[in-house]
Structures are given as structure tokens and as C-alpha cells.
Amino acid sequence: MTTPWIVLATIVGYFILLFIISWLASRKADTNTALTGGRQAPWFIVAIAMIGAPISGVTFISVPGYVVGSSYSYMQMVLGFAVGYFVIAYVLMPLFFKRNLVSIYGYLEDRFGGKTHKTGAWFFFISKMLGAAVRFLVVCVTLQMLVFEPLHIPFIFNVIATIALIFLYTLQGGVKTVVWTDTLKSLCLILSVVLCIVFVAKALGYSAADMVTAIAGDDSSRIFFFDNPKEDTYFWKQFIAGIFMVIATTGLDQDLMQRTLASKNVAESKKGLIVSGITQIFVVGLFLVLGTMLVLYMRNSGAAMPEKNDALFGMVAQDSSMPVIMLILFVLGLIAAGYSAAGSALTALTTSFTVDILGSDKKQDEARLAHTRRLVHIGMAVVMGIIIYIFYLLNDDSAIKMVYSIASYTYGPILGLFAYGMMCKAGVKDKMVPVVCILAPILSWLIQYWLKQQFDYTIGFELLLLNAVLTMLGLFIFKKNNPSTTK
């Protein structure tokens, strides 16, 4: 069987399993189930789902290649992630469950008013739509190279077919489907990475003891960097950035929080978050170990390293000396990460647009709300497909970098809004909040540019905190002494 048909068979097999799980999860589903998951998900299922939830197709491809230039320094940030999960569990989750929120941005309306609510929702919408489209583009381009191009199938059909499949399996079940399909995703990711490590070790002729010795003795396995505070890999920079990054991009992201909001109660959600946060240390560790094994394999075979580190995993998986199962595992992990992340984002965008921007849950009865949600779901799928295709036509790395840069700016105001709401009793002038949230990223960019020009200082992960602090300062300037509601 040639490579395109192997890949295609793997995709078909995975989607058959995905649709079976989706059908089982969506039986007797109503609008409440689609928006909240029915609030009946067991904590251990939420924990398993959350392990793989932050992992996209980009992560699956990039993390093993990350060790080439930066060793295991990413683990320093992951340790910060684990601390951040405790903050989310014990600070944010009680807040969200106390208000019985469908969308986490409903807190902003309770605390400040309607314009603040919509501002937070729009910032999330722009960031998530662009970010999800770019992440899924990476998966589509990889699959185009492996299967669609050899079969002479144009890229547009690739996008339409995959977006249609994602749309169908998330349409009925909504959040409940996302929770259960993410559980499948997490299990597939862990299985594929573990087995890939085993197969590479076997190809190198390593026993378990040999593998441990080889990894420990290789420069790529260094974890901690305390020697140079100016470097991006410096421990405290990475660790502190990890804490705040996960609070902003997980705890204040409807896409990732929709899983924990599907828990039975706040105690169950805490268990799921803490277990998943700790377990992610070991899962990311597996990806990094795989990266070192891939590097050792390339050295042993005498092959040249790829120009882009991201291509390392795929290059070894397709190597002629590797068994076919290695390629199948690579494709399985890639599509599990990519399709599940896109499906999750599509569901979150549908929920946020329906609830936060349209406010349909407050204005419509059950039947009309269900109809609105379906129309919004269709719209979100079409918009995502169009954006993916546009970026493919642009074929410009700078465009992709721009999207990630925009995302790093948009999470700052969201973090600032929630932090101010929880730390300050005063209210704000609701109509001024959109102005503050637009000005904060602009000022952040100006400060970033000035520091670079004057002192040759590059702002990295600090940008998120700078953006959030400027947002909070703006809110303080336009504060109201009489809060509209309690925290």
C-alpha cells in the first residue's frame, strides 16, 4: 500500500471512530447539552480531555523538533503551566460556577456591563478564529503533501472535506461531543508518542537502559537554564511566563474552559484541572524525549537535519527504514490533535457568538435558540474554511507570525479585564472599556518598539503581562466608585 492510501485509510478509520463517539455522546442532546455539556461529565473524563486539549497539530509537529535548538527548556514553562492550573482551579472555577455561566465572558457583564461583555467576547472571537485557522492550516498542508497532492486532489477540496467532517461531528452534541472526542484525542496522542519512541529505539538497537543513558548524555536533554537572565530560556522567565500564559490562554479561553464547565460541580472541575495540569508535565516530557530520540536517529543514519526543525518528526516517520506503523502513528497523532482542536474551537466560537455577541440565550425560547445555534455553527465553519484557504493562498510565513502576534495581544486585555474585576471592588465606565482594550495593545506595541530601538531589548512573554497591566491602568482611570455588582 502506497503512502497516500495508508494516510487516507488512517484518516477514514479515525473518523469512523470519531463519529461513533460523537453519535453516542449526542444521543438525547438538546441545546443545553450543546452549550454546556449537560454539566454531567465525570471529573476523570474532563481530566483526560484537558490533557490533550491544549495540544494542536502545530504542537504535535513542533515540540519534538523544539529540542534541536532549545533542548528541554520548554519544560520550564510547562512547570509554570502546572502552577497556573491550580490558580484556575481555585480562583476562576469557583467564580464561573457560582454564576452558573454558559460562557465565561458572562462574568464581564455581571461585573461591569454589556459593552465590557461584548468587548471580551470579540477579543476572544478574533483571536480564536485566526489562531484556530492557522493551526489547522498546518495540518491541512501536511495532509495535502502526504495524501491529497499525490492523488491530484486540489487543496480547496482538502479544506472543504475536513471542515465539513468537523462541522458534522460537533453540530449536534456540541460541548458534550468535544469532551468525549478530546478524551479519544488524548489517548491517541499518548499512544502514538509512546509507540513512536519504542519504534525509534528499536531502530537504533537500544534497550530501555541504553535509551535512558543515551538521552541523559545528550545535550538536547538539558532542562534547566539558570545561567543567563538575558536569554529567552532563562528559568524564571519561562516559569513565570508559563503561569500567566496558562491562566490567560486556558483559564480565560472559552474554548478550553468549556470542558471544565461541563463538570458536575466546582469540586469535580477542580479535580479534573489539577490532575490534567500535573499529567501534562509527563505528556510534554514524552514529546521532548521523542525529540531527542529523533535527533539520535538522524545522527546515527547520517542523514542531514531538515532546514526547519518542525519537519523532523515527519521526516523520520516517512523514512524507508522505518516500519509502516510509524507513519500510521504519526498521522494518527497529527489528525487527532489537529481535527479535535479545530472541532473544539468551532464549538467554542459557536457558543461565544450565540451567547455573548448575539445574546440569544436570553431572548429566545428552546426551539429558536437551537435553530440560531445551528446557523451560527454553519457560519463559523464557513468563516474558518475561508480563512484557512486565504492563508494558504498567501503562503507567507510572516502572515502566520502576524496572526500569532495578534493573538498574544488580544489575550492581554482579556486577562486585564478579569484581573481588575477580581482584584478591585470599583466598577468601571462601561462605555469606555472598548476604548481601553483597543488602546492597551497599541501602547504595548509602541513600548515594545521603543525598547527595541533604544535599548535593543526584545519583549518576549512579558508582552502578555504588559498588555494586561496597561488594560488595568486604563480601567482604573475610568473607574466608578460604586460597583455595579459584587465580585
**Ranges 365-374, 393-402, 407-416, 434-443, most confident:** 434-443
Q: How many beta carbons lie within 10 A of that of residue 93, not counting itself?
A: 24
CA 344/CA 132 separation, integer angstroms? 9
Identify which has the larger pLDDT, 356 or 379.
379
Provide the number of structural domains found in the chain.
Answer: 2
Domain of residue 43, CATH code:
1.20.1730.10
- Let me know whether 445 and 374 are in one domain: no
- Let me know whether 270 and 214 are in one domain: yes
- Let me know whether 208 and 95 are in one domain: yes
**Looking at 345, 362, 394, which one is the last position of a domain?**
394
Determine contact, residues 465/247, Cβ cutoff 8 Å.
no
Identify which has the larger pLDDT, 8 or 159.
159
Residues 6+ apart with CB under 8 A from 443: 470
CA 41/CA 44 separation, integer angstroms? 8
Determine contact, residues 275/73, Cβ cutoff 8 Å.
no
- Let me know whether 198 and 140 are in one domain: yes
Beta strand 427-428 with 479-480 is: antiparallel
**Looking at 364, 394, 424, which one is the last position of a domain?**
394
Measuring CA to CA, which residue among 112, 47, 43, 30 is closest to residue 413?
Answer: 112
pLDDT of residue 476: 92
- Let me know whether 363 and 433 are in one domain: no
pLDDT of residue 127: 82
- Let me know whether 290 and 346 are in one domain: yes
- Supply the DSSP symbol for 263: B
Domain limits at 327?
3-394
- Let me know whether 234 and 370 are in one domain: yes
- Let me know whether 372 and 402 are in one domain: no
CA 262/CA 241 separation, integer angstroms? 28
- Let me know whether 429 and 446 are in one domain: yes
First to last CA, the chain: 61
Determine contact, residues 184/37, Cβ cutoff 8 Å.
no
pLDDT digit string (tens) for 412-423?
899 899 989 888
Q: How many beta carbons lie within 10 A of that of residue 99, not counting itself?
A: 14
**Looking at 394, 417, 433, which one is the last position of a domain?**
394
- Let me know whether 387 and 405 are in one domain: no
- Let me know whether 163 and 267 are in one domain: yes
- Let me know whether 132 and 30 are in one domain: yes
pTM: 0.75
* Element at 428 (helix H, strand E): strand 427-428
